A = this chain, B = another copy of it.
């Protein structure tokens, strides 16, 4: 195989152009080998294989700079830059991340990237840096059609065009986002494809870009030709290439949404290996919303390009009809829209993973909470048990949400409490409410939960004991139960509290605990800095009450083993028990 001998793009350049499609096929095989064993992004990488070979054949990395949007299409790039073993050899797969990473390869990867719509914006910095330092290299930003719907991509394009110097934006148009595309822009991309790039009405030209179109986006020779024409160009240009998502693997071209990202699978059949089985909160949320829609014609479920995360399969989207809307990768829009929809009297529910909600801090504050409109935001995956890639950590949501005035952030502890809180949030018309949808295994309970949460910040005492009180929020409530039980086994009759609210504290209860408690332990499934526990520590600061906050220390985390993470953060049940006993 060629690919085994390609240690850098220089080796690729030695090959005759006719052999490049062979290399592309080898890369495709390597990508499939990796994802079938390891899971990962399938469609984006398969569709961008030929383009990557052509890019590295034409341009001179690392002098020329590539920036990959989301970088979920960067596997072929990794294989051509000394990391093929991470695809070919199952034993080497863990060494390679699913994203662009200078930590992994400082020579060829320019940025740690995992969020969407950033590539052009980052590329403008490389442009301006080059220009101010007198460099001459090409700056190449790769962006998928789906990512163009994000505001940061627009801001980047707008600035790049004004800078006016060399930048080559490769628009990888596979006619898909994660699910289908949404936004007026996509009709223009359709027009450009239909006219082979000849239409006068052209979004990119309207922003000031030069423009060229390549219909055969999975044809290496055609791509090489196109890239050679734009290499060393002295102004901004978009190279719009039409690719096929999942190219070369029938299951992935047949069901593009399901194969955007995939669990490990049998290569022959595409069948998932093992399968996770059991209930999951995404699916349960989808069903809950769909059921409530039937009852409430004002309910509108909003997705921002990841409907699957909220259980909205294509079938459910169809069933929801007009009561479902996907705004594309446009979280800012989603929050603003939700706020205004609530203002108009509808019942909007926007659901997306916590890491992507980071895009909406200002909208949560300004468009939503300052206005106090009764929209619902479901925060998904927010747990140490959630996604664990460097750029996809989902446990900074409590620090981000909880200090925003006029927002109510609820943390259910079980499925039944989640349902109670979610339905209250949807049906009430008084507060802007976020719900931290649990992200661990689904836990059921026969406990009677409140159906009304409008009496804000009223904590629930599950068990009243003495000396020690454990305040265990959301996902970590079961950990609180376990710790309470362990202490009971050691003769310590601890109080156990479900705080329910992350945006305020129950001062009356906390005051009352002073009577017969000397230590409070807070447990939260997330960041300690700026988290829920610190608010409790502040409350008791002037008193004799001791406080232990359990949560995750501030640090960068990447592909951690969750049990190691828990241990390193003193979060194993026995560690918590030991800390409590040592402090008593």
Q: How far is the CA of A273 from the CA of B200 in the complex (A)?
A: 53
Q: B160, A125: Cβ atoms under 8 Å? A: no
Chain A window 531-562, contacts with chain B (Cβ cutoff 8 Å), 1 for yes, 0 for no? 10111011011111011110000111000000
Q: Does A458 contact B (CB under 8 A)?
A: no
Which of B151, B202, B367, B583 interacts with A206 by CB under 8 Å?
A: B202
Q: Does A345 contact B (CB under 8 A)?
A: yes
Q: Does A322 contact B (CB under 8 A)?
A: yes
Q: Does A498 contact B (CB under 8 A)?
A: no
Closest B residue, CB atoms, query A528: B538
Q: A403, B132: Cβ atoms under 8 Å? A: no
Q: A339, B203: Cβ atoms under 8 Å? A: no
Which of B157, B188, B208 interacts with A207 by CB under 8 Å?
A: B188
Q: Does A130 contact B (CB under 8 A)?
A: yes
Q: B132, A298: Cβ atoms under 8 Å? A: yes
Specify which chain B residues have a CB less than 8 angstroms from the CB of A336 in the assembled complex. 118, 121-122, 124-125, 152, 156
Using A158-B185, A183-B162 as known contacts, say yes or no to A554 and B403 having CB atoms under 8 A apart.
Answer: yes
Quick check: which of A326-334, A420-428, A443-451 contacts chain B, the rest being far away?
A326-334
Q: A343, B129: Cβ atoms under 8 Å? A: yes
Q: Does A115 contact B (CB under 8 A)?
A: yes
Q: A366, B322: Cβ atoms under 8 Å? A: no
Q: B332, A121: Cβ atoms under 8 Å? A: yes
Q: How far is the CA of A118 from the CA of B528 in the complex (A)?
A: 32
Q: Does A131 contact B (CB under 8 A)?
A: yes
Q: Does A161 contact B (CB under 8 A)?
A: yes
Q: How far is the CA of A325 from the CA of B527 in the complex (A)?
A: 36
CB distance from A244 to the nearest CB of B (A): 24
Q: B366, A118: Cβ atoms under 8 Å? A: yes
Using A366-B358, A546-B542 as known contacts, say yes or no to A337 and B111 having CB atoms under 8 A apart.
Answer: no
Q: Does A48 contact B (CB under 8 A)?
A: no
Q: B205, A201: Cβ atoms under 8 Å? A: yes
Specify which chain B residues have a CB less than 8 angstroms from the CB of A527 in the assembled complex. 403
Q: A337, B121: Cβ atoms under 8 Å? A: yes
Quick check: which of A9-17, A90-98, A278-286, A394-402 contacts chain B, the rest being far away?
A394-402
Specify which chain B residues have a CB less than 8 angstroms from the CB of A159 in the assembled complex. 182-184, 327-328, 330, 333, 337
Q: Does A155 contact B (CB under 8 A)?
A: yes
Closest B residue, CB atoms, query A164: B184
Closest B residue, CB atoms, query A580: B542
Q: Does A370 contact B (CB under 8 A)?
A: yes
Q: How far is the CA of A365 from the CA of B554 in the complex (A)?
A: 12
Q: How far is the CA of A197 from the CA of B170 in the complex (A)?
A: 30
Q: How far is the CA of A182 from the CA of B188 in the complex (A)?
A: 24
Query: Which residues in window 245-278 of A have CB below 8 A to B?
Result: none
Q: Does A351 contact B (CB under 8 A)?
A: no
Q: How far is the CA of A151 from the CA of B336 in the complex (A)?
A: 13
Q: How far is the CA of A572 from the CA of B125 in the complex (A)?
A: 44
Which of B124, B529, B556 interacts with A370 by CB under 8 Å?
A: B556
Query: Which residues in window 57-101 of A have CB below 8 A to B?
Result: 65, 67
Specify which chain B residues have a CB less than 8 angstroms from the CB of A122 in the assembled complex. 336-337, 339-340, 367
Q: How far is the CA of A355 from the CA of B304 in the complex (A)?
A: 25
Q: How far is the CA of A543 from the CA of B327 in the complex (A)?
A: 50
Q: Does A378 contact B (CB under 8 A)?
A: no
Chain A window 140-163, contacts with chain B (Cβ cutoff 8 Å), 1 for yes, 0 for no? 000000000111111111111110
Q: Does A112 contact B (CB under 8 A)?
A: yes
7 more A-B contacts (CB under 8 A) besides A115-B367, A126-B344, A366-B391?
A: A121-B337, A125-B338, A151-B332, A184-B209, A188-B206, A396-B404, A399-B399
